[in-house]
Structure 1
């Protein structure tokens, strides 16, 4: 088996906010340092660092982060890009490395900066000037490759989830987040909590600019900057009640033009041997309120355990880091209330990733 021994994240800062001058590795370094300190491990103990990044200019941001964090030069760093799902997929890849015996200690997570992302230009062979673009292609078929807000609105139409229902979910996300201070946040640039969280009301939702159909600025997550990492270790290094056992993880593809539903199949896969009524917590990505609603209802998850402390609608969406933020928050919830918990996220192109963790009650002192 493999285990999460420690889990940390930065605050989530909306684009052009507190982290606007920081490169992804500059957000990542303090998080990595706190992670190792929590676990009582040294940089020399780390075998690999896996980093999810969706908006960078290529290269190998994981290598940059590993070197900047003072890890040994033999730690090569592995960067992955599965868009929103990458932050959870980095963790699953780390778990596979540990279970295979390749490494005893792997740092896995994501770092993203919407504020510092490079401009994208598509070039042409016929001499036309380069053309700016925002969303990369996720399918070979333009008619099945909608913009994300368009796909979310189509999902709302298919499932009959109206704007009021989406707004109500967003309002509740903010309400719960206001009432809770997440543990595990590393202070960076003077920021030690998620600044976007606010007292959202139906009146504010009604005034929110429309993005596409029923999708508005109030019921979709804002673009943001953040970093989050977990320390995945072998059985030999797991520390009883301090760690969370990785029970299962799965990434599956579905219809590319309906990405919001993709996590449902992944959730079903990881819950094959786990009754839903035994879950104590579920962290479901809220890139859009409709997507979270569709996953909660489609996977038949008890509403009271889903995003009990608020979700991405109340903090923001740093694409490559968002999946790991779910895992970090879940880890700390399960440390406080031992049991089994779920994290799941949808991704562009019709991908869904789910993770199942378990913590056990600490033995009573003798």
Structure 2
């Protein structure tokens, strides 16, 4: 493979992220994704000065109605009917896996523009039934394997790694404060595509940090103690949203700045502790690239729960004494903004693009996007700024 075939993200956009049942509740998944896809195409063509052919549209989605959401969104975005679409389901890692998959097409020799990302409309997700019984989600693991809900799984991590309520609330407060400051300073403005009259995220919320101590525990710890530590305040909100990127081979980007996809890894872990998956994925991606954690300037992890995020950071050595390294989600994360499952991994890449490319980081600066996945997996991608 020549260096010309390295995939480079040259455009990155997302919708505002809205809480389930709130301002985007009436918008179906394909109509959340379509404006973002269209914006990425327009941005990429304006930046490169070329009307590159589009090779594929690859979107992650978890809980939608099926029917290949990527194809629906591509058509709704006005993409030529000759361009195919593929929908990826790796649960909370879906959006990031879609971007990695699109990058693999470029590495394999496809020199066309690739569009990839993720979308979730939790508000319009259908109810599923089997044998007349309705259920919210399919199993993450088969009979005979642990298959915890994500909240209790986060509580189990808090217990195993001694992450107390104070540490979790402090991390959640950090996410809200950083995101609030970023919003106030306009750090999200260039990445957001309005959906109708919805132009800003539902979060962050300035008053949340002061309220965190009032939230009641949601789950009893596995050791039978009376009081858990995972609360609604230090957990993400289920949300609606979409995010996407446009990728081109390095050889056709010209002088357009972007994020080169250097390495990626997807790794399995114990289904009983699914939130720990990013540890092995990050470790493998770094090893494949021949770099270390110290070489990375920016980390974007999908903050499903403060306990889960802190457990990952603890094992990586990025949360000494329970305090997150300043490189991690430096403008807030899903605890403040919300977690649209199939989109969140792609939101992490958009956030890296804003922090590093729009933020004028020098060429060679490294960033990592990562997510934990139900059923026991982690996915991570390492990017490098090119100018």
1:102-145 C-alpha deviation (Å, 9 max, x unpaired): 3521100011101101012221xxxxxx2221231011135500
Preserved CA contact (<8 Å) 2:177 2:209: no
Indicate the residue corresponding to 2:273 in structure 1: 258
SS in 1 for 2:252: coil
Indicate the residue corresponding to 1:133 in structure 2: 135
**Given the alignment of the two structures, is residue 40 of structure 1 paired with residue 30 of structure 2, yes or no?**
no
**Given the alignment of the two structures, is residue 356 of structure 1 paired with residue 382 of structure 2, yes or no?**
yes
Q: What count of residue pairs does the alignment treat as equivalent?
A: 355
1:131-165 C-alpha deviation (Å, 9 max, x unpaired): 22123101113550011111110111111111221
Question: Structure 1 residues 306, 154: closer, same or farther in 2, change over 3 A?
Answer: same
Indicate the residue corresponding to 1:287 in structure 2: 304
Q: Equivalents in 2 of 1:330, 1:220: separation in Å?
A: 22
From 225, 229, 241, give the equivalent of 1:214. Answer: 229
Deviates more, 1:268-277 or 1:323-332: 268-277
Question: Structure 1 residues 313, 242: closer, same or farther in 2, change over 3 A?
Answer: same
Q: Equivalents in 2 of 1:118, 1:208: separation in Å?
A: 30
**Given the alignment of the two structures, is residue 192 of structure 1 paired with residue 199 of structure 2, yes or no?**
yes
SS in 2 for 1:168: helix
**RMSD of the TM alignment (CA)?**
1.6
1:341-361 C-alpha deviation (Å, 9 max, x unpaired): 11111010011011111114x
- Structural mapping, 1:232-251, within 5 Å: 232-240=247-255, 242-251=257-266
SS in 2 for 1:252: strand
**Given the alignment of the two structures, is residue 54 of structure 1 paired with residue 69 of structure 2, yes or no?**
no
**Given the alignment of the two structures, is residue 298 of structure 1 paired with residue 315 of structure 2, yes or no?**
yes
**Given the alignment of the two structures, is residue 225 of structure 1 paired with residue 240 of structure 2, yes or no?**
yes
Preserved CA contact (<8 Å) 2:176 2:209: no
Preserved CA contact (<8 Å) 2:10 2:256: no
Deviates more, 1:3-12 or 1:288-297: 288-297
From 5, 9, 24, give the equivalent of 2:14. Answer: 9
Indicate the residue corresponding to 1:127 in structure 2: none
Q: 1:202 deviation in Å?
A: 5.5
Preserved CA contact (<8 Å) 2:366 2:385: yes
1:44-87 C-alpha deviation (Å, 9 max, x unpaired): 72110001110112221111011111111111200111100011
Q: Equivalents in 1 of 2:213, 2:133: separation in Å?
A: 35
Q: 1:251 deviation in Å?
A: 0.7
Indicate the residue corresponding to 2:345 in structure 1: 323
Q: Equivalents in 2 of 1:59, 1:241: separation in Å?
A: 35
Q: Equivalents in 1 of 2:281, 2:260: separation in Å?
A: 19
Indicate the residue corresponding to 1:162 in structure 2: 164
Deviates more, 1:101-110 or 1:6-15: 101-110
SS in 2 for 1:186: coil
Indicate the residue corresponding to 1:21 in structure 2: 26
Question: Structure 1 residues 287, 176: closer, same or farther in 2, change over 3 A?
Answer: same
Unpaired segments ≥5 residues, structure 2: 1-5, 220-227, 320-324
Q: Equivalents in 2 of 1:44, 1:168: separation in Å?
A: 46
1:188-210 C-alpha deviation (Å, 9 max, x unpaired): 12222212211245551122243
Indicate the residue corresponding to 1:63 in structure 2: 71
Question: Structure 1 residues 8, 281: closer, same or farther in 2, change over 3 A?
Answer: same
1:302-327 C-alpha deviation (Å, 9 max, x unpaired): 70100100010001110000000000
Preserved CA contact (<8 Å) 2:148 2:272: yes
Deviates more, 1:185-194 or 1:232-241: 232-241
